[in-house]
Amino acid sequence: MSYLLGVVLFALAILISVSLHEAGHMLTAKAFGMKVTRYFVGFGPTLWSFRRGETEYGIKGIPLGGFCKIVGMTPQDDDVEPGDEKRAMWRYPVWKRTIVMSAGSITHFALALIALWIIAVSVGLPNPKFPSTEAGFRAEPAVIAIAPCVVVENAARACESGDPASPAEKAQLKDGDRITAVNGKPVSTWGDMLDVVRATPPGTATVAYVRDGKPDDARVDLASVQRPPLGDPKGAASSVSALGVALSPTTPTRVEYGPVAAFGATADFTGTMAVQTAHAMQRIPQKVPALWNAITGGERDVDTPISVVGASRLGGEAVENNAWLVFFMLFVSLNFFIGVFNLLPLLPLDGGHIAIAWFERARSWLYARIGRADPGRVDYLKLMPFTYAVILIGGAFTLLTVTADVINPITLFSR
């Protein structure tokens, strides 16, 4: 039940975000005097509507987004009534049209920033000093957290009944102990400990550690497990020793901020997220084969793109596991991604309209400088083949991600 509630809540959060996106277009257009005739949440048949002034507001039957109708977005639009010619959007200065067309993405960015600021002052943002790479984790001090069991086979799964208990737990080691040596071989970092333990034959070993500042040692019966080489998780597994512990990083994973300091932390985190989003978008074409592989029976790569369906399912998992921070970080990431994606200079995206407006402005400036007549506005009808190509590619990719999210979804928690 909680899973379904989470799915519905996340889908509702997305719908509200998209509705606010369209509201951003509408409010800025009205502020500049442009005529907005319709603002609806959803698509399809109208369930309820009312008119205030010259605008009809309402709700439609298919809750998959929303739209607002601004009169005369392009010179080719035929929706301009007599007397409204001066209010057609395409007649307004380019900077005003840019603000109107970018208002949707700005709304998504604002939602993400507000949510991040609240997270920063309430539960904290990810610590930028926390290790983000395997090399970083290996450099952490060898402070351990006792694992509940040892998974003997080479499998990434949770403990099950029948799995042997952790050798470290049986030897009465505790969370927070810092390993300093194994069979007399010094250990200073987590990476050192992994190397030494794996190189030690299974069976009895002497493990030196420090607890509460006091050194001590324990006799531990190291387990024999199957694991791939360190640094090569897809390599061939072999028999190695295991202590039955996990890394307990000494660097906190999150940092809470005061109301003022949270603004700077939010800005820094947003910059990091912008770089990660750019890299993720660059990798999208490379992930298409992985999505197809997931649909046809292969393992789903957690680094593949997800659709609104997949994001909602992850939101459901987060609520089911009481991981509200994951829920809201998903909300932040999705809004930021939509905001960036919508500014791409491609029709029919808002960024495509912005790019054309500034192309017209630059072309007019250049022609004036070389003494030639202004060529006027771009003919959108001539761009329709490119627009349809973008729609076709985007639709196919959306169908691919939705299918993968239904058939072979990404999961964050064991269910």
pLDDT at residue number 414: 57
pLDDT at residue number 235: 82
Decide if 140 is catalytic: no
Higher pLDDT residue, 132 or 66? Answer: 66
Q: Quick one: DSSP state of residue 383? A: G
pLDDT at residue number 20: 96
Q: Quick one: DSSP state of residue 236? A: P
For the chain, helix (H) and strand (E) counts, in that order, are 10, 11
Secondary structure of residue 37 in the 3-state scheme: strand
pLDDT at residue number 68: 93
pLDDT digits (tens, 9 = 90+) for 242-268: 999 988 877 788 888 999 999 999 999
Of 22, 169, 317, 360, catalytic: 22
Say if residue 131's pLDDT is above 80.
no
Q: How would residue 172 be classed by pLDDT, with cut points 50, 70 and 90?
A: very high
Average pLDDT over residues 38-57: 93
Mean pLDDT of the chain: 90
Beta strands in 125-213 (DSSP E): 125-126, 144-146, 178-182, 185-186, 203-211
According to DSSP, the β-strands at 203-211 and 238-242 are: unpaired
From residue 236, how far is each of 88, 131, 226 by CA, in Å?
66, 26, 9
Say if residue 406's pLDDT is above 80.
yes
Q: In sequence order, which residues have a C-beta less than 8 Å from that of residue 4 and are 6 or more positions away? A: 316
Average pLDDT over residues 399-406: 91
According to DSSP, the β-strands at 185-186 and 178-182 are: antiparallel
Q: In the block, which residue shows the tokens 């050194």?
A: 215
pLDDT at residue number 327: 92
Please, what are the domains in the chain? 2-35+71-122+324-407 (no CATH), 134-247 (2.30.42.10)
Max avg pLDDT among 146-150, 207-211, 290-294 = 207-211
Say if residue 170's pLDDT is above 70.
yes
pLDDT at residue number 392: 94
**41 — alpha (psi -120 to 50), left (phi > 0) or beta?**
beta
Say if residue 333's pLDDT is above 60.
yes
Average pLDDT over residues 275-288: 85
Beta strands in 108-169 (DSSP E): 125-126, 144-146
Say if residue 71's pLDDT is above 60.
yes
